[in-house]
């Protein structure tokens, strides 16, 4: 039932002080909320970045391992090449020395280089020339030397000289040297 | 906005409600304050009289002292201006742009002039108004169990005005808002004298009517004593037996009775004129009125009843009414 000419004013529990207080708390709450959301976002961002970095790290580790293996392989190759190079140099020097050993009067037709030995094929005017001028140095170098001759049509002698170094003897000699030094 | 309203409704149960009810005469205001809890039980009530019509700082401070306790406070007043009326029409009542209309149970309507309402709203603009009641609706609400009966006249008697209605089976036949002659300049002068002699407003319970009577008594007493002072100038009072103290007191009481007699007779005369208008005007059915119900907010004397009974042969029923309390009751009804 309406008796009054006018309608009552809208009543609110929010006085100006309460509105001020609520505004303050709302702003504070919103700031906290946005900070929380920002932290959550950053946390998510960091987590995803961390995962990406972990994957990258794993990939890099794999790459490093691969590189390491490659480096190792290359180092081995390098060492092998160096060894081969050294061996070749040594061989070259040995061959040079070997050819220096050969006197002018003896003509070599073939030379077989073995791992522990050397085989000469050639022509000598005489056995003596061979024995004195080539066989003597060969004997001083190799442990065992076997030579066979057979005559040619021109009166010279073809020869085959097989020379071997006993590795066991060298190793034992080296061991003895080490023992002596110690 | 809806959400805000719902929040207010939700919180309404947590707060007490304060009803501030202001009843103004031409020179005084009575503020009746009632605080109820969420269950509708009255926690406290207080009223205070202010010797001003306008909302002064004292009255404002007194009201704000209570309204600051809760956001759910309702300020109500009643329109005592003569620029209001009631009609039996309920259709096309909104056509008048110069007045505001309300329908009472869709059977009759009561109006207030816009400028009168604006004046009241302006008067209380510092504290605001929630309810503005019409004396017609108050009268109908006060006699709600009677107006649906046979033809009878219903009168609201206040200090400043008389509100007269004639109802038959809840149908409004006649209405009039009458200013009483007690609002003349002499009356205001008496109150002005009283204001000058009284420093503080008084605060009490439901003693408004008694206070008003007391004020009248004091006023009359001061006039009588002044009158005797004039006589004293002419003759030696102590030598005259008729003007001893006992005689003066008897004279004061006698004058009080004369004053009440005058006021009530004035009211009777005004009401009698209105009844004659009702009988004589051809637009009214003019059935014979047998009963008159008087809502008495000022404490009328038995003389008024006697006048109606002896001169108009009416059955008179006088029911005491506290205007501020009734306004409070209506404000509560509005919120239900």
- Beta carbon pairs, A and B, within 8 Å: 63
Both A161 and A121 in one domain: the answer is yes
Determine contact: A16 vs chain B, CB below 8 A. Answer: no
Contact call for residues B291 and B143 (beta carbons, < 8 A): no
Both A89 and A119 in one domain: the answer is no
Closest CA to A115 of A173, A168, A171, A167: A167
User: Domain ends where: A101, A126, A144?
Assistant: A101
Closest CA to B21 of B333, B296, B335, B329: B329
Contact call for residues B18 and A11 (beta carbons, < 8 A): no
Q: Which residue positions in chain A have pLDDT lower than 50?
A: none
Q: Closest Cα of chain B to A29: distance in Å?
A: 20
Nearest-CB residue to B74 (from A5, A8, A15): A8
Both A81 and A134 in one domain: the answer is no
Query: What pLDDT sits at residue A162?
Result: 93
Contact A3 B138 (CB under 8 A): yes
Nearest-CB residue to A13 (from B8, B130, B132): B8
Hey, which bits of chain B come out as E strands? 17-24, 29-36, 42-50, 73-78, 84-87, 99-104, 108-113, 131-133, 152-157, 161-168, 171-179, 203-204, 291-296, 315-320
Q: How many domains does chain A have?
A: 2
Both A137 and A122 in one domain: the answer is yes
Contact A8 B130 (CB under 8 A): yes
Both A29 and A47 in one domain: the answer is yes
- Torsion angle, alpha carbons of B152, B141, B157, B86, to 10: -70
Question: In this structure, is residue A144 part of a structural domain?
Answer: yes
Question: In this structure, is residue A139 part of a structural domain?
Answer: yes
Query: What pLDDT sits at residue B241?
Result: 45
Q: What is the ipTM of this complex?
A: 0.72
Read off the DSSP letter of residue B201: -
Instruction: Encode chain B (336 residues) as per-residue pLDDT tens digits.
Output: 444 456 667 777 888 899 999 998 878 899 999 999 888 899 999 999 999 888 889 999 999 999 888 889 999 999 888 888 888 887 666 666 788 888 888 889 898 888 888 999 999 999 999 999 999 999 999 998 888 888 899 999 998 889 999 998 888 888 999 888 644 444 443 333 434 333 344 444 333 434 433 444 444 444 444 444 444 444 444 444 444 445 445 555 555 555 666 788 888 899 988 888 888 887 777 678 889 999 998 888 788 888 888 888 889 999 999 999 999 999 998 888
Contact B334 A2 (CB under 8 A): yes
Contact B15 A15 (CB under 8 A): no
User: Domain ends where: A101, A119, A138?
Assistant: A101
Spell out which residues of chain B touch residue A5, defining contact as CB-CB under 8 Å.
Answer: 79, 100, 102, 112, 117, 132-134
Interhelix angle B245-280/B302-311, nearest 10 degrees:
40
Both A94 and A136 in one domain: the answer is no
- The token duo for B187 is 């009356």
Both A42 and A92 in one domain: the answer is yes
For residue A63, what are the contacts with CB-CB under 8 A and spacing of at least 6? Answer: none
Contact call for residues B210 and B217 (beta carbons, < 8 A): no
Both A108 and A64 in one domain: the answer is no
Question: In this structure, is residue A164 part of a structural domain?
Answer: yes
Both A158 and A108 in one domain: the answer is yes
Query: What pLDDT sits at residue B38?
Result: 84
SS3 A102: coil
Contact B131 A8 (CB under 8 A): yes
Both A109 and A35 in one domain: the answer is no
Question: In this structure, is residue A7 part of a structural domain?
Answer: no
User: What stretch of H or E contains B191?
Assistant: helix B185-197
Query: What pLDDT sits at residue B135?
Result: 93
- The token duo for A9 is 């004013």
Measured between alpha carbons, how far is residue A170 from residues A82, A86, A112, B281 in Å? 24, 20, 22, 162
Nearest-CB residue to A3 (from B4, B112, B333): B333
Query: What pLDDT sits at residue B165?
Result: 92
Both A140 and A91 in one domain: the answer is no
Determine contact: A2 vs chain B, CB below 8 A. Answer: yes
- The token duo for B12 is 């309404």
Question: In this structure, is residue A67 part of a structural domain?
Answer: yes
Contact A4 B133 (CB under 8 A): yes
What CATH number did the domain enclosing A170 receive? 3.30.1360
Both A97 and A30 in one domain: the answer is yes
Question: In this structure, is residue A33 part of a structural domain?
Answer: yes
Q: What is the span of the domain harbouring residue A48?
A: 18-101
Question: In this structure, is residue A12 part of a structural domain?
Answer: no
Spell out which residues of chain B touch residue A2, defining contact as CB-CB under 8 Å.
Answer: 102, 334
**Test mutation, B3, B107, B130, B327, chain A, max A CBs within 10 A:** B130
Question: In this structure, is residue A13 part of a structural domain?
Answer: no
User: Domain ends where: A50, A85, A101?
Assistant: A101
Nearest-CB residue to B134 (from A5, A13, A15): A5
């Amino acid at each position: 039932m309406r008796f009054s000419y006018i309608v009552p004013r809208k009543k609110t529990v929010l006085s100006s002080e309460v509105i001020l207080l609520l505004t303050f708390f709302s702003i504070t709450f919103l700031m906290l909320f946005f900070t929380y959301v920002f932290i959550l976002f950053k946390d998510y961002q960091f987590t995803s970045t961390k995962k990406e970095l972990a994957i990258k790290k794993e990939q890099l580790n794999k790459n490093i391992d691969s590189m390491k293996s490659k480096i190792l392989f290359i180092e081995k190759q390098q060492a092998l090449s160096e060894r081969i190079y050294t061996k070749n140099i040594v061989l070259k020097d040995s061959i040079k020395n070997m050819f220096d050993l050969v006197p002018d009067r003896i003509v070599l037709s073939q030379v077989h280089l073995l791992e522990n030995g050397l085989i000469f094929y050639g022509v000598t005017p005489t056995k003596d020339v061979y024995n004195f001028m080539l066989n003597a140095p060969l004997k001083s170098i190799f442990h065992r030397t076997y030579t066979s001759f057979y005559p040619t049509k021109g009166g010279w002698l073809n020869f085959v000289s097989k020379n071997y170094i006993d590795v066991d003897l060298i190793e034992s000699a080296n061991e003895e040297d080490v023992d002596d030094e110690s | 906005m809806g959400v805000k309203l719902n929040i207010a409704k939700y919180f309404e149960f947590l707060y007490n409600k304060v009803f501030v009810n202001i009843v103004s005469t031409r020179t005084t205001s009575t503020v009746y304050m009632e605080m109820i809890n969420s269950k509708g039980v009255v926690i406290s009530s207080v009223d205070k009289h202010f010797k001003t019509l306008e909302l002064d700082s004292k009255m404002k401070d007194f009201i704000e002292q209570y309204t600051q306790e809760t956001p759910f406070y309702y300020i109500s007043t009643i329109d005592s201006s003569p620029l209001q009326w009631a009609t039996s029409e309920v259709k096309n009542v909104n056509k008048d742009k110069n007045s505001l209309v309300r329908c009472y149970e869709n059977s009759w309507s009561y109006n207030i002039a816009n400028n009168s309402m604006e004046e009241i709203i302006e008067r209380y603009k510092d504290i605001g108004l929630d309810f503005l009641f019409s004396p017609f609706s108050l009268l109908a609400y006060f006699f709600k169990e009677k107006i649906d009966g046979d033809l009878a006249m219903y009168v609201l008697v206040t200090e400043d005005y008389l509100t007269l209605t004639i109802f038959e089976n809840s149908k409004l036949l006649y209405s009039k808002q009458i200013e009483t002659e007690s609002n003349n300049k002499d009356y205001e002068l008496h109150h002005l004298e009283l204001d000058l002699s009284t420093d503080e407003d008084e605060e009490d319970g439901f003693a408004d009517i008694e206070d008003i009577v007391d004020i009248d008594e004091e006023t009359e007493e001061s006039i009588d004593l002044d009158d005797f002072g004039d006589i004293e100038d002419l003759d030696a009072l102590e030598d005259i037996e008729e003007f001893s103290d006992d005689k003066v007191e008897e004279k004061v009481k006698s004058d009080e009775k004369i004053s009440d007699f005058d006021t009530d007779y004035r009211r009777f005369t005004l009401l009698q004129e209105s009844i004659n208008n009702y009988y004589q005007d051809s637009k009214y059915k003019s059935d014979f009125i047998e009963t008159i119900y008087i809502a008495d907010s000022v404490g009328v004397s038995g003389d008024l009843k006697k006048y109606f009974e002896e001169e108009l042969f009416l059955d008179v029923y006088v029911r005491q009414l506290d205007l501020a309390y009734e306004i409070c009751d209506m404000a509560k009804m509005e919120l239900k």
